[in-house]
Amino acid sequence: MSSEVKVKGNELFTEGYQFNFMVNGKAISAWGSCWTGKEVIKLDGSIVSEGRSYRRKSVHHFDIGQVPYEIEFNAVDILKGHLECTLIEDGAHVETQSIAYKHPETPKKVVVKELLLWMMIGLITGFLAARFLG
């Protein structure tokens, strides 16, 4: 099991969450969109399972030969955009990968300036509304 969490930025919103596994010489890819809830599981480039899920956890079942596999998506922290993807082979855990969204860091000066700007806009709007509508 991998305990490493990959951290990505805004590309998660445009490109979605992408996980890649190699098992017994087969490439398994799992993709999920945080906007539409669509999830696609591919085996060597061919779709073996797809669907939409708006739950915190979803499971996809497929077979390679006679061996059953599962891909589990688990939203660990929705507010932080932290998603885990687990590959299970014949009931046994193979690997878990994890991706989280990294919020862009904004310098404190910029935050203070924006806050002051919005306060000024609010004061002016309130003043004008009171003067002309009150």
Both tokens assigned to 125: 């709007």
Distance (Å, whole) CA 17 – CA 40: 10
Closest of 76, 74, 71 to residue 48, by C-alpha? 71
In the numeric block, the tokens 């098992």 are attached to 23
Which residues, 6+ apart, have CB-to-CB distance to 118 below 8 Å? none
Q: What spatial distance separates the first Cα and last Cα of the chain, rounded to whole Å?
A: 65
Q: Are 26 and 33 in contact (CB under 8 A)?
A: no
Look at residue 124 in the predicted model and tell me its pLDDT: 93
Cβ-count burial 68-80 (b if 16+ within 10 Å, e if not): ebbbbbbbeeeee
Question: Rounded to the nearest 5°, which phi and psi values hold at 106?
Answer: -110, 130
**How do residues 20-78 score in pLDDT, each as one tens digit?**
999 989 999 999 998 889 999 999 999 999 999 989 999 999 999 999 999 999 999 88
Distance (Å, whole) CA 10 – CA 90: 35
Q: Does residue 5 surpass a pLDDT of 50? A: yes
Closest of 95, 58, 52, 90 to residue 74, by C-alpha? 58
Q: Does residue 10 surpass a pLDDT of 70? A: no
